[in-house]
Amino acid sequence: MRKLRIAIIELVTKGTTRTLYSSVMHANLAGIMPQIVAVWCEEEGHDVTFVCCTHRENLTAEIPTDVDLVFISSFTQAAQLAYALSNLFRSRGAVTALGGPHARCYPQDAQQYFDYVLGFTDKAVICDLLLDCSPHRPVGLYLTADRQPATLPGVRRRWKFIAQTLRKAPLLKIVPMIGSLGCPYNCNFCIDSEVPYQPLGLDIIKEDLRFLRGKFRRPGVGWHDPNFGVRFNVFMDAIEEAVPPGSVKFIAESSLSILSEPHLKRLKRNGFMGILPGIESWYDLGKKSKTGQLKGIDKVRQVSEHVNMILRYLPYVHTNFIQGLDVDQGPEPFELTKRFVDTTPGTFLAFSLLTAFGQAAPLNLELQRAGRVLPFPFHFLNNHHAMNVKPKHYSWLEFYDRLIDLTKHSFSWPAIFNRFKANRGMISRSMNLLRAVSSEGFGRIKYHTEMRRRLETDRQVRRYFDQETTELPQFFVDQVRKDLGPLWEWLPQGALYHDQNAYLALEEGHLSTPAAIVSDSDSWAAARVAAP
């Protein structure tokens, strides 16, 4: 095989940004897979240039002009940026490949702009792509393994790329690690609801933790497991065997059902500093939060007590809520969350707008069938900048009024002050203060308020929200142009639009695209299979 010059670009943001939060945190939002793909490409003997793009960098200067192959890793919010970059690199003669959440959620759309679009990715998929490495146009080839990989390279092998990324994190440095894939729960809005739970090798994890202690005085690790701690004791035994208690700081996303008091004691002893449980709804998903059949105010009381208990053990708790679920109606869900803010002053609350990310989750099929998915450009699909699902029980104006009221309540000065008082330690206090006054708190109030104003005053926007037109209002076009900066010129024609019902079309057999399923035993490059 000829030696390829390969660039790997990870997009952790969707455009030019200069906020304080972005300069402190963006490099810490880097994923694991771009680093892994870089490792696999080097292992196959190729030259790799790796850039984690926090969007202060000049990409066109950092990537050599003569690369043969460019991998781009993108969330849906960065899809337009990714499409523009692919167009630019293709014009220079490179072949391009897309991986990451956007590729898993909207493969058919991405195939119009990339030579390869990757779903589940293991080393066999990457090796087959490297062997082929040729343009596939006008429709790219969709490559996927038939399941999540059984094993992934750990920190030691990824170190070169981790170190390079963390140089862009001036204060807090969080090393991404992963101990499991998939999830045993089946929340119907989630990308992992149908992906079986699968633990990864404990030996690699132990080796990595020991390795990191040689790199930092007290390393910080962020677990990227979709739901950390499902096999709690096995996992904690491994951590305890590898490193002395408290010598590594950890952050993890975990469900409340896992965060019992005995587990919290063990987490505290082992240096867990932050935990991100998803509460999501006061009326649904009781299994995940261990509240069973409890609903409404009863659930608020129980969860509030639970989160306050967590805060007695761990200094930082970030709770997630989904706004606009079908079970919600009237003022009550929002008022209950306000009550939760008051009774649980130490937690940071994140309010995600219900978003149907293409073919990510079973619920999206129902929503598309019901004609309730709006075609907002991908750029706005990050759970905050647009809600692409028409709410079942709210008008848009009522929904935004309630959302703004709730966000203002959570980031009012009294709430910020109470949070500050309730938190322990400078890191938790300053992180929550920074998040409140930066893009997440004040920034979001400003953004939602502007959206609410436009709904009332901008006829184009109103008609778009009411599904009377699919023509994109100028307000949205201007934002994408501003965020893309000079790369706007490279955005392919039509790339602001997508078929928001593509998943349904696929399920009903109206869409077929060149695709290849690759598994360890069935190499696509060898067999050249092209099956739907």
Helix (H, G, I), strand (E, B) or coil at 180: strand
What residues numbered 14-33 form the site for ligand B12, per CB under 6 A?
Answer: 29-33
Residue 357 found at the interface with ligand B12 (CB under 6 A): yes
How many residues does this entry show for the chain? 532
Q: Locate tokens 């926007």: which residue?
A: 461
**What are 128's two structure tokens?**
């087959």
Interface mask (CB under 6 A) for ligand B12, residues 87-116, using x and -? ------------xxxx-xx-----------
Q: Do 374 and 368 meet the contact criterion of CB atoms below 8 Å apart?
A: no
Partner residues linked to 175 by β-bridges: 221
Contacting range for ligand B12; rule: CB under 6 A; set: 117-125, 277-285, 330-338, 369-377: 117-125
Contacting range for ligand B12; rule: CB under 6 A; set: 376-384, 445-453, 474-482, 522-530: 376-384
Contacting range for ligand SF4; rule: CB under 6 A; set: 86-94, 190-198, 348-356, 482-490: 190-198
* Three-class DSSP labels, 134-178: CCCCCCCEEEEECCCCCCCCCHHHHHHHHHHHHCCCCCCCEEEEC
Which residue in 187, 317, 491, 518 binds ligand SF4 (CB under 6 A)? 187
Q: What are the phi and psi torsion angles at 95 (to 5°)?
A: -95, 145
CB 230, min distance to ligand SF4, A: 9
CB 180, min distance to ligand SF4, A: 10
* Three-class DSSP labels, 419-467: HHHHCCCHHHHHHHHHHHHCCCCHHHHHHHHHHHHHHHHCHHHHHHHCC
Residue 149 or 324 having the CB closest to ligand B12: 149
Burial code of 494-504, b = ≥16 C-beta within 10 A, e = fewer?
ebbebbbbbbb
Q: Do 143 and 191 meet the contact criterion of CB atoms below 8 Å apart?
A: no
CB 81, min distance to ligand SF4, A: 26
Which residues lie closer than 8 Å to 160 by C-beta, 6 or more apart? none
Residue 407 found at the interface with ligand SF4 (CB under 6 A): no
CB 226, min distance to ligand SF4, A: 4
The entry of ligand SF4, ligand B12, none that residue 278 binds, CB within 5 to 8 Å by partner kind: ligand SF4
Interface mask (CB under 6 A) for ligand B12, residues 51-90, using x and -? --------------------x-x-xxx-------------
CB 79, min distance to ligand SF4, A: 22
The entry of ligand SF4, ligand B12, none that residue 185 binds, CB within 5 to 8 Å by partner kind: ligand SF4
Residue 193 or 302 having the CB closest to ligand SF4: 193
272's enclosing H/E stretch is strand 272-275
The entry of ligand B12, ligand SF4, none that residue 360 binds, CB within 5 to 8 Å by partner kind: ligand B12
CB 229, min distance to ligand SF4, A: 11
**Separation of first and last alpha carbons in the chain:** 28
Helix (H, G, I), strand (E, B) or coil at 239: helix
Residue 165 found at the interface with ligand B12 (CB under 6 A): no
The entry of ligand SF4, ligand B12, none that residue 101 binds, CB within 5 to 8 Å by partner kind: ligand B12
Rounded to an integer, what distance in angstroms lies between the CA atom of residue 216 and that of residue 220?
Answer: 9
Rounded to an integer, what distance in angstroms lies between the CA atom of residue 188 and that of residue 51?
Answer: 34
Residue 252 found at the interface with ligand B12 (CB under 6 A): no
Instruction: Name the amino acid, one letter, at 123.
Output: K
**What are 57's two structure tokens?**
């960098």
**Which runs of E-coded beta strand occur in 4-112?**
5-11, 47-53, 69-73, 95-99
With contacts defined by CB under 6 A, how many residues of the chain interact with ligand SF4?
Answer: 12
Rounded to an integer, what distance in angstroms lies between the CA atom of residue 27 and that of residue 21?
Answer: 11
Residue 251 found at the interface with ligand B12 (CB under 6 A): no
Residue 288 found at the interface with ligand SF4 (CB under 6 A): yes
What residues numbered 226-265 form the site for ligand SF4, per CB under 6 A?
Answer: 226-227, 255
Nearest Cα residue to 279 out of 298, 297, 303: 303
DSSP result, 115-139:
SEEESS--HHHHHHHHHH-----SS
What residues numbered 298-337 form the site for ligand B12, per CB under 6 A?
Answer: none
Which residues lie closer than 8 Å to 212 by C-beta, 6 or more apart? 155, 175, 219, 221, 248
Residue 193 found at the interface with ligand SF4 (CB under 6 A): yes
Residue 205 or 300 having the CB closest to ligand B12: 205
CB 195, min distance to ligand SF4, A: 8
Please give the residue ranges that form the binding site for ligand SF4 (CB under 6 A).
183, 185-187, 190, 192-193, 226-227, 255, 278, 288
* Contacts to ligand B12 by CB under 6 A: 12, 29-34, 37, 71, 73, 75-77, 99-102, 104-105, 118, 120-121, 148-149, 178, 181, 190-192, 224, 226, 253, 357, 360, 382-384
